[in-house]
């Protein structure tokens, strides 16, 4: 996993974006972080719902 290239916002002029600008290891980091975030939300939202319900 390549964290140094995963979240680069500026890629410069003349970069072909048709098939994406990240290589495979950087793309894996992006997907991994997305899934971790989804897991956190999936645990936090029901927990907050239980706190509010009581």
Determine the Cα–Cα distance for residues 6 and 22; give it in Å rounded to an integer. Answer: 7
What does the pLDDT average to over 3-8? 74
Read off the DSSP letter of residue 31.
H
Domain ranges of the chain: 3-53
SS3 10: coil
How many Cα atoms occupy the beta-carbon half-sphere of 34 within 13 Å?
Answer: 8
Report the sign of the C-alpha dihedral through residues 12, 15, 37, 32, in that order.
negative
Please report, rounded to a whole number, the percentage of residues in the chain having pLDDT higher than 70: 76
For position 42, what pLDDT does the model report? 97
**Residue with the larger pLDDT of the pair 7 and 35:** 35
Kindly report, residue by residue over 22-40, the tens digit of the pLDDT: 777 888 888 999 999 999 9
pLDDT (0 to 100) of residue 43: 96
**Higher pLDDT residue, 17 or 12?**
12
């Amino acid at each position: 996993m390549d964290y140094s290239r995963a979240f680069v916002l500026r890629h410069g002029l003349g970069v072909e974006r048709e098939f994406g600008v990240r290589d495979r290891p950087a793309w894996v980091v992006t997907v991994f972080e997305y899934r971790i975030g989804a897991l956190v939300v999936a645990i936090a939202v029901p927990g907050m719902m239980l706190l509010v319900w009581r």
